[in-house]
């Protein structure tokens, strides 16, 4: 039996800017990712990595082409449908962490799980925050946390619901070597435990080497696709 395909993109394009001066950000992306694999996306700044991730994670709509994730075709869904499809199945860590400023670190991780119906949301959130080394910062608000600490809260929030697919845009960008190593270990441990698919944008060759597969983007296209 063929392995499950977690992510399928066909001829995905993204055009932004004005009608008079459109910019082609993505120029026909074809991609299939097998469930349970880890994929690093490399490429120079501006090559379209974050844009591709935004489309694959359902946060942005493609201008052309089709995307289906975990068997769900995005074209069939409206905003609410997309949000529902993401909930619990897809974890996302963006470059801007999007923590809610009025909630503590613990609440930022626990409340989304609680809204999704998890009975043990706070216990799981606490365990996940301890795993990223933030057991001593549970009651801190985002403004009281350093950039690297906020990044770790965002990672804990993404992995805590045990999603099938985790998208992470430079998840270690703000972390020092030791903390970065611990966070990467956590991401890969969770991936293995849950058989999850992991898509990571990174400039870090060490992180890329740990992935099963490496894609390189240039100027809106995937220019190389290498298995480890």
Ligand X SMILES: Nc1ncnc2c1ncn2[C@@H]1O[C@H](COP(=O)(O)OP(=O)(O)OP(=O)(O)O)[C@@H](O)[C@H]1O
160 binds ligand X (CB under 6 A): no
Q: Is residue 166 helix, strand or coil?
A: strand
Interface residue with ligand X among 12, 25, 105, 208 (CB under 6 A) is: 25
- In whole angstroms, how close is the CB of 50 to ligand X at the nearest point? 3
CB distance 125 to 132 below 8 Å: no
Q: Of 25 and 93, which has the nearer Cβ to ligand X?
A: 25
Q: Report d(CA 167, CA 110) in Å as an integer.
A: 19
Q: Of 50 and 214, which has the nearer Cβ to ligand X?
A: 50
How many residues touch ligand X (CB under 6 A)? 12
49 binds ligand X (CB under 6 A): yes
User: In this chain, which stretch among 43-51, 73-81, 103-111, 121-129 interacts with ligand X, using CB under 6 A?
Assistant: 43-51
Q: Report d(CA 84, CA 136) in Å as an integer.
A: 33
Tokens standing for residue 224: 């190389």
- In whole angstroms, how close is the CB of 47 to ligand X at the nearest point? 4
Chain Cα centroid distance, residue 75: 20
Q: Report d(CA 173, CA 95) in Å as an integer.
A: 8
108 binds ligand X (CB under 6 A): no
47 binds ligand X (CB under 6 A): yes
């Amino acid at each position: 039996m063929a392995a499950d395909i977690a992510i399928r993109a066909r001829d995905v394009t993204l055009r932004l800017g004005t009608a008079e001066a459109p910019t082609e950000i993505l120029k026909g992306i074809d991609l299939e990712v097998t469930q349970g694999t880890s994929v690093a996306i490399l490429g120079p700044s501006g090559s379209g990595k974050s844009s591709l991730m935004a489309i694959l994670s359902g946060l942005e709509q493609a201008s052309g082409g089709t995307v289906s994730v975990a068997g769900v075709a995005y074209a069939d869904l409206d905003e609410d449908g997309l949000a529902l499809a993401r909930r619990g199945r897809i974890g996302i860590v963006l470059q801007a962490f999007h923590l809610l400023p009025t909630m503590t670190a613990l609440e930022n991780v626990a409340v989304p799980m609680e809204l999704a119906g998890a009975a043990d949301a706070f216990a799981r959130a606490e365990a996940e925050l301890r795993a990223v080394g933030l057991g001593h910062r549970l009651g801190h608000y985002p403004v009281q946390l350093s950039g690297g600490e906020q990044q770790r809260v965002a990672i804990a929030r993404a992995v805590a619901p045990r999603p099938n697919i985790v998208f992470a845009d430079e998840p270690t960008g703000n972390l020092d070597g030791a903390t970065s190593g611990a966070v990467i270990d956590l991401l890969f441990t969770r991936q293995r435990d849950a058989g999850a698919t992991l898509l990571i944008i990174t400039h870090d060759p060490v992180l890329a080497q740990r992935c099963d597969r490496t894609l390189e983007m240039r100027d809106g296209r995937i220019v190389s696709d290498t298995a480890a």
